[in-house]
């Protein structure tokens, strides 16, 4: 079997030697009743209409030409050159797609070059803006007064827990209420982290234990639904987030 290389979208050309049908020697004139079969992977072989075999005396071989319509876009395909006066010539051709791959690579690299150019332009602009102290101070001043920075300054701090002092609440055990006084009388339910009765060692409320008990707040008055027995004089530890 003869091996050769062709290119997608082009007529396939390959030089081959042909042996006479009676095996008496090399055929060197014209192939009689020429038929060229081509077969691609997992497809039925077909006759390559328009295929030719021309004797090239300088090369001492036949130049077989197969129309581009029978050349696949990629991969390997087999060819059989047959004539009434020659022994079958078997050829295996590899389609070279390197040029197409190089074109794709060039497209990608051209895109990267364009992106790099854009980045260079941006960096140059930053360098120009910060080239002098005046420019730098102007940029910092603009940043400091921007809406984004102002918005960030309004974000509440995390973990600003405080224990409400004993003189800042009044506990009414029978009514299940705790009345807060300033500055704690404006807190919301979301700001109460936990409430524990230190005297009885009872946990009235914990924001992480929603299945234990719940609270509500109205005008600084906390109402809980804990069912334990307590007294007005019991000492409480009320932890809130005052951020």
Together in a domain, 92 and 9: yes
19: in domain: yes
Q: Which residues have a Cβ under 8 Å from the Cβ of 6 and sit 6 or more positions away?
A: 12, 13, 14, 66, 71, 93, 94, 95, 96
* Last residue within a domain, chosen from 97, 127, 148: 97
Q: Which of 29, 80, 38 is nearest to 56 (CA)?
A: 29
Tell me, what's the pLDDT at 67? 97
Would you give per-residue pLDDT tens digits along the chain (243 residues)? 788 899 999 999 999 999 999 999 999 999 999 999 999 999 999 999 999 999 999 999 999 999 999 999 999 999 999 999 999 999 999 999 876 665 667 777 777 888 887 877 777 777 666 666 666 666 656 655 555 555 544 444 455 789 999 999 999 999 999 999 999 999 999 999 999 999 999 999 998 876 668 899 999 999 999 888 999 999 999 999 987
Specify if 40 maps to a domain. yes
Whether 165 and 90 share a structural domain: no
Q: Tell me the whole-structure pTM to 2 decimals.
A: 0.42
Residue 81: which CATH number?
Answer: 2.60.40.10
Q: Is residue 22 part of a domain?
A: yes
pLDDT at 156: 44
Dihedral sign computed on CA atoms, order 214, 217, 220, 225? negative
Q: Is residue 156 part of a domain?
A: no
3-state SS, residue 207 = coil
Cβ within 8 Å of residue 144, ≥6 positions away: none
CB 225 within 8 A of CB 175: no
What is the reported pLDDT for 99? 66
Tell whether 92 and 166 lie within a shared domain: no
* The two structure tokens encoding residue 15: 């030089």
Same domain? For 8 and 84 the reply is: yes
Q: What is the pLDDT of residue 83?
A: 97
Report yes or no on 27 lying in a domain.
Answer: yes
Q: Within a domain: residue 137?
A: no
Rounded CA gap, 80 and 87, in Å? 10
Q: Has residue 143 been placed in a domain?
A: no
Position 11 in a domain: yes
User: Domain boundary residue among 75, 97, 119?
Assistant: 97
Dist CA 113 CA 238 (whole Å)? 63
Which residue segment(s) compose the domain that 39 sits in? 2-97
Counting the structural domains of the chain, the total is: 2
Q: How far apart are CA 62 and CA 85, in angstroms?
A: 14
What torsion, rounded to 10 degrees, do the Cα atoms 133, 139, 145, 150 define?
-120
Provide the pLDDT for residue 227. 87
Distance of CA 31 to the CA centre of its chain: 58
Q: 3-state DSSP call for residue 121?
A: helix
H-helix or E-strand spanning residue 19:
strand 18-19
From the CA atom positions of the chain, what is the Rg in Å?
A: 45
Residue 117, pLDDT score:
78
By the 8 A CB rule, do 12 and 71 touch? Answer: yes
């Amino acid at each position: 079997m003869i091996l050769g290389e062709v290119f997608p979208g082009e007529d396939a050309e390959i030089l081959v030697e042909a042996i006479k049908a009676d095996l008496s020697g090399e055929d060197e004139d014209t192939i009689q009743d020429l038929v060229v079969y081509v077969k691609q992977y997992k497809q039925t072989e077909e006759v390559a209409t328009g295929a030719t075999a021309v004797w090239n005396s300088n090369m001492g071989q036949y130049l077989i030409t197969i129309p581009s319509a029978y050349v696949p876009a990629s991969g390997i395909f087999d060819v059989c050159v047959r004539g009434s006066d020659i022994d079958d010539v078997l050829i295996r051709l590899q389609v070279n797609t390197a040029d197409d791959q190089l074109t794709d690579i060039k497209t990608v690299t051209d895109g990267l070059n364009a992106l790099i150019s854009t980045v260079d332009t941006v960096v140059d602009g930053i360098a120009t803006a910060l080239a002098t102290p005046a420019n730098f101070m102007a940029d910092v001043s603009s940043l400091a007064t921007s809406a984004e920075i102002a918005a960030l300054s309004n974000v509440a701090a995390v973990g600003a827990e405080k224990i409400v002092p004993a003189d800042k609440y009044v506990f009414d055990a029978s009514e299940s209420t705790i009345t807060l006084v300033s500055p704690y009388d404006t807190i919301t339910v979301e700001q109460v982290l936990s409430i524990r009765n230190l005297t009885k060692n009872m946990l009235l409320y914990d924001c992480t234990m929603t299945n234990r008990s719940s609270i509500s707040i109205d005008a600084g008055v906390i109402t809980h639904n804990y069912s334990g027995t307590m007294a007005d004089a019991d000492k409480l530890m009320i932890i809130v987030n005052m951020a």
